[in-house]
């Protein structure tokens, strides 16, 4: 699970971000710049959500310091601030922020942005998940079984990718709902079940199969020999 360091001095804002992202990510929440710099070393986050206005030092200075250090210079930063206007955004981007979210914001707006950051990072790295005879190319959004390409919709791809990333572990239905709820159609558990049924048919030749876990969700496992 990807790790995110959330830096904001407002407890209510930290709770909001936590509730928005906790189902999908491993979170560490702190309220000062000093704590941020410490946790970057000990927690080793994959992403930092950084408020600009902090009690001990501002987010701009923190971003500058992080970019100077070998361990933290490549960590993506999302600036989160009540400051509005192009000048604040420009400063943030010049300091290496990859996105800038103005408060107040819709929780799912933040979730979409965070998911997009990790999706883009995976694409840049050309990550491929290989399990038995199943190969998932994240950059191409391509799935192969026994070397043959399997055609999947965007929602089906997201579900199968998540199952593969958590092989053997139960992926809950509500997690899958979060994955596909931005695809422009109504989502409910029945739609998830429909997607799972379709994916099963498309990968039926694979050595892997999707098993139902009653009242919980699904998991990807190797077929019994």
Find the CATH number of the domain harbouring 169.
1.10.10.10
Whether 151 and 209 map to the same domain: the answer is yes
Kindly state the tokens that stand for 31.
Answer: 């309220």
Kindly state the tokens that stand for 178.
Answer: 């979060």
Whether 26 and 51 map to the same domain: the answer is yes
Rounded to the nearest angstrom, the gap between the alpha carbon of residue 107 and the centroid of all alpha carbons in its chain is 14
Residue 187 has pLDDT above 80, yes or no: no
Report the distance separating Cα 30 and Cα 36, nearest Å: 7
* Residue whose pair of structure tokens reads 């704590």 in the numeric block: 35
> For 53-86, how does the pLDDT look when each residue is reduced to its tens digit (9 = 90+)?
999 999 999 999 998 888 888 888 999 887 666 5
Rounded to the nearest angstrom, the gap between the alpha carbon of residue 137 and the centroid of all alpha carbons in its chain is 17
Query: Domain containing 116: what range?
Result: 3-122
User: Which domain-ending residue is among 122, 152, 170?
Assistant: 122
Residue 89 has pLDDT above 90, yes or no: no
Whether 139 and 76 map to the same domain: the answer is no
Mention every residue, 6+ apart, whose C-beta is less than 8 A from residue 93.
100
State whether residue 22 is helix, strand or coil. Answer: coil
User: Which domain-ending residue is among 61, 90, 122?
Assistant: 122
Whether 45 and 137 map to the same domain: the answer is no
Whether 69 and 12 map to the same domain: the answer is yes
* Residue whose pair of structure tokens reads 């999947």 in the numeric block: 152
Instruction: Pick the most confident of 70-84, 177-191, 206-220.
Output: 206-220
Q: How many domains is the chain partitioned into structurally?
A: 2
Residue 118 has pLDDT above 90, yes or no: no
Read off the pLDDT of each residue in 157-178 and give the average, rounded to a whole number.
Answer: 89
Give the pLDDT of residue 52: 92
Residue 184 has pLDDT above 50, yes or no: no
Whether 41 and 78 map to the same domain: the answer is yes
Read off the pLDDT of each residue in 112-120 and give the average, rounded to a whole number.
Answer: 82
CB 162 within 8 A of CB 145: no
Kindly provide the residue ranges of all beta strands, DSSP E only, lying in the chain, ordered along the sequence.
Answer: 3-7, 26-30, 47-51, 77-81, 99-102, 128-131, 134-137, 142-145, 148-150, 171-172, 208-213, 217-222
């Amino acid at each position: 699970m990807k790790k995110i360091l959330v830096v904001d001095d407002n407890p209510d804002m930290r709770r909001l971000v936590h509730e928005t992202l906790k189902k999908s990510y491993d979170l560490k929440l702190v309220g000062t710049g000093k704590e941020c710099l410490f946790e970057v070393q000990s927690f080793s986050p994959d992403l930092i959500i950084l408020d600009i206005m902090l009690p001990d030092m501002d987010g701009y200075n923190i971003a500058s310091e992080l970019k100077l250090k070998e361990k933290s210079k490549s960590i993506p930063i999302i600036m989160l601030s009540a400051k509005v206007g192009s000048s604040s955004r420009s400063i943030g981007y010049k300091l290496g922020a990859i996105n800038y979210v103005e408060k107040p914001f819709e929780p799912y707006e933040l979730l979409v942005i965070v998911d997009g950051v990790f999706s883009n990072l995976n694409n840049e790295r050309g990550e491929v998940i290989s399990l038995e005879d199943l190969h998932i190319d994240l950059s191409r959004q391509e799935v192969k079984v026994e070397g043959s390409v399997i055609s999947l919709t965007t929602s089906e791809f997201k579900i199968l990718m998540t199952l593969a990333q958590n092989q053997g572990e139960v992926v809950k239905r509500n997690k899958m709902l979060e994955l596909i709820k931005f695809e422009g159609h109504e989502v409910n558990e029945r739609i998830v079940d429909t997607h799972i049924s379709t994916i099963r048919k498309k990968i039926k030749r694979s050595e892997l199969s999707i098993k139902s876990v009653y009242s919980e969700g699904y998991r990807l496992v190797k077929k019994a020999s």
